[in-house]
Amino acid sequence: MRTLVVVSFLATCAYAQSPLVKILSDELERNFTALKQKADPVPYFLGYEITDQESDVILASRGSLDGQNHNHDRILDTTIRAGTPKFDNYRRVPGDRPRFTLATRIALDDNPEAIRKTLWLTTDRVYRGVAQRLIRIKADEKLRSAATDGSDDFSSEQPQTSFSAPSKLKFNASEWGARLRKVSTEMSKYPGAINSNVAVEAQRIMTTVVTSEGTRVESGRLFARVMITARGKATDGMDLASLETFETGDPSTLPKDAEILAAVERAGKNLTDLLHAPPADPFVGPAILSGRAAGVFFHEIFGHRIEGHRQKDETEGQTFTKSVGKPVLPTFLSVIFDPTRAEYNGIALNGTYQYDDEGVKARRIVAVDNGILKAFLMSRSPIEGFPNSNGHGRRSPGNEVVSRQSNLIVESTNKVTDAELRKMLIEEVKKQNKPYGLYFDQVTGGYTTTASRGLQAFTVIPLVVYRVFADGRPDELIRGADIVGTPLASFEKIMATSDKMDVFNGICGAESGNVPVSAVAPALLVSTIEIQRKERSQDRPPYLSRPSAEGQK
């Protein structure tokens, strides 16, 4: 199951390689030479990736700090391939997903002795797992029928050399603690907010990749965000939430207090309105998805299904494996994945990077051109018709690389104004003789199932949804509506888009861990969408009244 949640950003400068590169390179050469001389089976590839993560997180609620943490660590991931690029230890077999690396902490200081010892021990441990699996799958392969996709297991790529680094992380924890105490008190005005908080996070990530092929890459990014969350419980037990976020590539450009306070008020008011709104009923009919909702919609129903590794995995549903060169979307829609783009209309994009986690240079990919599928997202795991990576091999530390999404951008040639899109919705409501249509304003994420053994379905989780009536009545806020459906049927229902684009920044969870992504899309008009009512909790709101701000009398 793949999940997407809301959460940004590239600010780098060129510089000479760090001492870490030489330490890694020297030990890689020593270990690789020794393994080739002594080991059986013989490895043909060795790669090290170091992820240097530094972050500050502060959490406040109702005028007090609930948590404050500074963290800095370095994580080592080790990749060893034995056999040949045609058939190696990463060969996928049904019911068995290869995994060799584990998140291994190394010294924060560029201390050669400490780092080399960790590399030596980790390389030895990883190689033992590599050798065992290669021997086993070679024996198993003789008992299995031929794979549908007979592509090689590893692609040949041009080695890369590039050295850049994000600026140093500058974050005044004391100042931000005082600010969050102040702004978090505003949520006390909203009695329905049982749990609420305001959080700030600032992070610097630096990755260093060295391989036996000659790749030497250092790159990274800064990001910062403020997140306001208000949670409450309706009288029937339904859990509800409201969310506001700000994201930027530099902590110094986060919003001032006045803007954060306004967002706290929006979150509190939205939650209050939701608590008094009627619950959604199961419904099938026309709807508009806001740009952010449409971005999540495409991420879930389309993006995951064109990740390259799913096309050769026999346990996957392979929705689009045989669809290259064929129509998969309406002719007025194109879909691009562009990790090289740092912002869209001034908004920083979360899925931005210079090099992927295999040291392959990031590049812009047109996945769908005027409705026609053109390409898949590729790591260095080839598939039929796509023998090379296009810079989408990604992972979080401790996971194996697979192909993943970056910055998804939906473009349309059938664009109308927001007012015209709403008019078209009302006309469709009348045409279908429905009691109302729906407008999905805010979403928090979604998830999808791509495995062949399960239903090829998706869910998008909205926060703010309105009923739109054809007779001119005001829109009605409803609560607890989840968008559900199957991908192929959903694509056919898209009628038109707005002429404005919006950005959803999030964190996507899948096989290779949590990676930052973005989705940029216009609002969509769909002729048919299905919603189901959100599951209700068995709990009820608190029996006791909320403590007063003045304290107990």
Contact 359, 218 (CB under 8 A): no
Q: Give 248 or 148, the one with higher predicted confidence.
A: 248
Determine the average pLDDT of the residues in 191-212: 95
Residue 497, classed as helix, strand or coil, is strand
Q: Which of 237-241, 423-427, 539-543 has the lowest mean pLDDT?
A: 539-543
| Residue indicated by tokens 């240079």 | 361
Closest CA relative to residue 535, chosen from 438, 457, 459, 435:
459
DSSP state of 203: E
- pLDDT tens track for 267-313: 999 999 999 999 999 999 999 999 999 999 999 889 999 999 999 88
- Helix 112-141 / helix 19-38 crossing angle, nearest 10 deg: 40
Q: With pLDDT > 70 as the criterion, what percentage of the chain qualifies?
A: 91
Determine the average pLDDT of the residues in 45-57: 97
- pLDDT tens track for 119-153: 999 999 999 999 999 999 988 766 564 567 789 99
Closest CA relative to residue 468, chosen from 396, 419, 520:
419
Query: What pTM was computed for the model?
Result: 0.91
- pLDDT tens track for 74-116: 999 999 999 999 999 999 887 678 899 888 999 999 999 999 9
**Which residues pair with residue 520 across a beta bridge?**
409, 503
What is the pLDDT, as a whole number, of residue 94? 74
Please tell me the distance from the alpha carbon of residue 107 to that of residue 75, in angstroms, as a whole number.
9
Q: Give 235 or 488, the one with higher predicted confidence.
A: 235
What is the pLDDT, as a whole number, of residue 143? 52
Query: With bands split at pLDDT 50, 70 and 90, how would you rate the model's confidence at 12?
Result: very low
Determine the average pLDDT of the residues in 238-242: 92
Q: Give 10 or 169, the one with higher predicted confidence.
A: 169
The burial class, CB within 10 Å (0-12 / 13-18 / 19+), for 274 is buried
Contact 141, 98 (CB under 8 A): no
Q: Give 462 or 108, the one with higher predicted confidence.
A: 108
> In Å, what is the CA distance from 177 to each residue of 124, 204, 206, 224, 321?
45, 19, 26, 15, 51
Ramachandran area for residue 214 (φ above 0: left; ψ -120 to 50: alpha; else beta): left
> In Å, what is the CA distance from 409 to each residue of 101, 294, 347, 522, 543?
32, 11, 13, 9, 47
What is the pLDDT, as a whole number, of residue 15? 64
Helix (H) / strand (E) containing 275: helix 257-276
Numbers of helices and strands, H then E, in the chain: 7, 26
What is the pLDDT, as a whole number, of residue 155? 98
Residue 6 has pLDDT above 60, yes or no: no
| Residue indicated by tokens 């995995």 | 313
Q: Give 7 or 461, the one with higher predicted confidence.
A: 461
- pLDDT tens track for 144-182: 645 677 899 999 999 999 999 999 999 999 999 999 999
Closest CA relative to residue 444, chosen from 286, 272, 253, 230:
230
Contact 49, 357 (CB under 8 A): yes
What is the pLDDT, as a whole number, of residue 536? 64
Q: Which of 64-73, 92-101, 348-357 has the lowest mean pLDDT?
A: 92-101
Please tell me the distance from the alpha carbon of residue 83 to that of residue 68, in angstroms, as a whole number.
48
Average pLDDT, the chain: 90
Helix (H) / strand (E) containing 32: helix 19-38
Determine the average pLDDT of the residues in 33-62: 97
Highest mean pLDDT among 60-69, 316-325, 476-485 belongs to 60-69
Residue 235, classed as helix, strand or coil, is coil
What is the pLDDT, as a whole number, of residue 258? 96
Closest CA relative to residue 296, chosen from 40, 541, 520:
520
Tell me, what amino acid is at 438? L
Residue 532 has pLDDT above 90, yes or no: no
Residue 452 has pLDDT above 60, yes or no: no
Please tell me the distance from the alpha carbon of residue 43 to that of residue 80, in angstroms, as a whole number.
7
Contact 417, 267 (CB under 8 A): no
Determine the average pLDDT of the residues in 307-332: 88
- E strands along 167-322, which residues? 195-211, 216-233, 239-248, 283-289
Please tell me the distance from the alpha carbon of residue 490 to that of residue 551, in angstroms, as a whole number.
53
